[in-house]
Structure formats: structure tokens, C-alpha cells
Amino acid sequence: MATQHAVPTHDDRALSVHDTGAPVLDAVTVVWHHGSPQTGALLHPLVDAAEARGIRLVSYARPSYATSSPRPGRDVASAAADVEHIAETLGLDRFAVMGASGGGPHALACAALLPDRVTAAVTLAGLAPFTEEFDWFGGMASDAALRAARQGREARARFAETDEFDPTSFTARDWATLDSTWSALGEDAQAAEAAGPDGLIDDDVAFVSPWGFDPSTISAPVLLVHGGEDRVVPVSHSRRLVETLPDAELWFRPRDGHVSVLEAVPLAMDWLLAHGSGSTGTAR
């Protein structure tokens, strides 16, 4: 079972942090970056996969999600400072990062900006930085929210007043996954939505704005996992990233959509164990 902490920050905010603790001495630590919207809670498929591999799993709610304080104007890069503070508080020195969907860019931010701490990174169905050099919106079943975010936070907030989820964004395989292995994901997303739209609004604005770091500077190995039938974040995003990152590989899963690709989490954790190591020892 994971424990929950309210971790105060240096700028008088608080972050909701979840931590399974170290199951064994010198356990590898993985910091999980949740999707958009989620509460940051450690869902049981993640915990089960981590426990089976002796991994310590840590997660946190990004600002304005769950009980984490708002951070007005945050960009993707700001996740690195929050994670570094969490690492200092929990006594973590080195760790790997993993993020799904909206968590992917934030995991990459940590890899880029905390090179002495992050040993390896995994993204599943993650976004690439916004650019007009490829069709960034191409293949999205519903891109209206992100297009509104391009007009600024106020426009994205107005859109949230009438926004409704488009069920065609998920494939039949996605819906089957939500009805079985990853049912906790849907429940958690509903809990995050019920708490209000601010976290998701801030995420969307950050995704389509300058990220605050250059992914090409990431020196740690990166694994990109993406489904060929993803209608939320098309695989073109990971294909763009794999061309940009210095040390990256892409696991293309042709039959997976945006949710069913999460079935690869256990294998991705195996990859992290093979490509990076972390410690629960005292932070620098």
C-alpha cells in the first residue's frame, strides 16, 4: 500500500505525494507522472507491477490536481523543480521516471533538467513539443481543447465550461482495457474531473506552449511506447521525439490505442531496470 504525504515546497505550496516505500534495500525508485486528468494516486496495476519487480514507486499530483496547490503559469519544465524537491524530502538520490499521456512530457522534463538524478525515462502515449514542423494535431479524434489552449488559458477555461469527452477518442481495445485491467484509471480520471478543470487546463496550455527545455539535451536513455491506433495522442508524436532524443528507442504497438498501451507498463519497468538504476539513499 502506498502512503500519502503533503509535501510543502519552497514557494509556500504543497504537493500531494504517494510513495510505496522501498520493498528491499537499495530498491530502484521510479517516479510516476500521471496523465491528464488524474489525481496522482498510485493505481493498482502500477503498484502490482512495481511490487513484482522490487521497485519503489513514487507519484505526485501536479499543481491544481487533487490537493496539490496551484502554480499559476506553470510550464512543462516546472515539474522538474517539484520532483527535485520531492526527492530531497523523501531522501531520494537517483531514480527513473515514467509518464503516461500528459505525464510523458513532465517525465522528459525531469530527464532533461535533473541529469544527475534521472537514470532513465519511459513515456507511454506521450506528447511531443508543439511545433508546426509536423501536423501536431493530425490524427486526434478531438483536438478542440488543445486548439483552445493555443489561444491562452482564458480561452481554454471558457472551452472547459462546455467540454464533453468524445467517446470515439478511445478504441474498442481501449474500452476493454478500462473495463478490466485498468478500470482504476477511469475511476481516478472521474475523481480528478469532479474536483474541477484547473489542472487539466494548465496541462493543456503547457503542452502547446514552449516547454522550457530542449528534449535533445536529454542524456539518459529514453523508451517511447506508443499505440498505432491512438486517437488521443497519435503515434506521430513519439516518432517525432525518437528523431529528436539522443538515446531513445520506440516500441510501436500497432494494435493499441491510448489506454490499452498501458498494458506495456510491466515490460517498460523491466526496461527501466535494465537501463537505469535508482536508490532510496540520502539525497545530495
Among candidate residues 79, 40, 35, 39, the one with its CA nearest the CA of residue 58: 40
C-alpha span between 35 and 33 (Å, rounded): 7
Among candidate residues 200, 188, 198, the one with its CA nearest the CA of residue 262: 188
> What integer is the mean pLDDT of 141-150?
98
Among candidate residues 200, 197, 207, 199, the one with its CA nearest the CA of residue 77: 207
> What integer is the mean pLDDT of 156-180?
97
- 91-101 pLDDT, tens digit each: 999 999 999 99
Rounded to 5°, the CA angle 272-277-278 comes to 115
C-alpha span between 194 and 252 (Å, rounded): 33
Q: Give 120's Cβ-side CA count (13 Å radius).
A: 22
Do 60 and 17 touch, CB atoms closer than 8 A? Answer: yes
- What's at 4, amino acid-wise? Q
Q: Give 157's Cβ-side CA count (13 Å radius).
A: 7
Query: Does the pLDDT value for residue 278 go beyond 50?
Result: no
> Residue 277's pLDDT band (boundaries 50, 70, 90)?
low
- 8-42 pLDDT, tens digit each: 999 999 999 999 998 888 899 999 999 999 999 99
- 104-139 pLDDT, tens digit each: 999 999 999 999 999 999 999 999 999 999 999 999
C-alpha span between 196 and 202 (Å, rounded): 12
Supply the pLDDT for residue 1. 72
> Residue 2's pLDDT band (boundaries 50, 70, 90)?
confident
Supply the pLDDT for residue 276. 73
Q: pLDDT averaged over the chain?
A: 95
| Top-confidence residue, 47 or 5 | 47
C-alpha span between 227 and 238 (Å, rounded): 10
> What integer is the mean pLDDT of 156-162?
98
Supply the pLDDT for residue 24. 82
